[in-house]
Amino acid sequence: MSTSTTSDAFVLDDTTLDLLFREARTANTWTDEPVSVEQVREVFELIKLGPTAANSQPVRLLLVEQGPGRDRLIPHMSGSNSAKTAAAPLVAVVAADTDFHERLPEHFPHSPGARDWFKDDASRERNAIYNAALQTAYFIIGLRAAGLAAGPQSGFDKDGVDAEFFAGTTWKSQLVVNIGHPGENAWFDRLPRISADDAIRVV
């Protein structure tokens, strides 16, 4: 299945690198095989170990099963994303908790003043979004490590989703990730990527 070549740069084998990156793709169609909440919880238990600034861990997941919950989500998806998200066995609305700093006395206990580093609302929200984005990528990799396809979608009405699901909370939706096993014609050809020469400089 893999067309990749072995590189001395890695300690993991090509099969693993293919699963995580080279053969992994954003799926647009799904088989009927279900994905359990429990499996995604296990993925979370793995990926929550990934690093964040000041161990802030702002990412939160709303898992949306098929049924009434999904029906509330779909109207907020944009264009062709609606059908993909409607069909996915399980969907995660990935959010950032802008009040992550309230937990720093527990999560960053050696710096008792850490909570006060994030007093400013705008700066705290930027930190929440940035570190939740790091954790969202860990989550996508973790789903792939579980043999699942992840279909991240940024095309949705965030304010609508927040009003629908997160009213009265400090969770702010960032991304919708469809989760399942890829179905027939699950993806288009891979799109072009930037060259290392264009993306990397050395001093």
Which residues within the stretch 172-191 sit at the binding site for a second copy (CB under 8 A)? Answer: 174, 190-191
Which residue type, as a one-letter code, is found at position 155? G
Cα–Cα–Cα angle for 199, 54, 175, rounded to 5 degrees: 60
Phi, psi of 152, deg, nearest 5: -70, 135
Residue among 119 and 201 whose Cβ is closer to a second copy: 201
Residue 74 near a second copy by CB under 8 A = no
Site size toward a second copy (CB under 8 A) is 78
**Residue 184 Cβ, how far from a second copy at the closest point, in Å?**
20
Shortest Å, Cβ 130 to a second copy: 5
Q: What are phi and psi of 73, to 5 degrees?
A: -80, -40
Rounded to the nearest whole angstrom, what is the least distance from the CB of residue 138 to a second copy in the complex? 6
Residue 167 CB, shortest distance to a second copy, in Å, is 13
Measured torsion, CA atoms of residues 175, 126, 122, 49, in degrees rounded to the nearest 10: 90
Contacts of 69 (CB under 8 A, 6+ apart): none
Residue type, 33: E
Q: Amino acid identity, residue 115? A: R
Least separation in angstroms between CB 120 and a second copy: 15
Structural contact between residues 125 and 98, judged by C-beta atoms closer than 8 angstroms: yes
Nearer to a second copy, 87 or 146 (CB): 146
- Contact positions with a second copy (CB under 8 A) in 88-107: 103, 106-107
Instruction: Give residues 30-69 in contact with a second copy (rule: CB under 8 A).
Output: 37-51, 53-55, 57, 59-65, 68-69
Task: Tell me how far apart the alpha carbons of residues 66 and 72 are, in angstroms, rounded to a whole number.
Answer: 10
Which residue number, 32 or 203, has a Cβ lying nearer to a second copy? 203
Draw the binding track, 115-154, toward a second copy (x: CB under 8 A; -: no contact). Answer: --------------xxx-xxxxxx-xxx--xxx--x-x-x
Nearest approach, Cβ of 181 to a second copy (angstroms)? 11
DSSP 53: G
Identity of the amino acid at 118: F
Residue 160 contacts a second copy per CB under 8 A? no
Copy the structure tokens of residue 133: 């984005």
SS3 (DSSP) at 60: strand
Q: Per DSSP, what are the bridge partners of residue 150?
A: 179
Cβ closer to a second copy: 32 or 110? 110
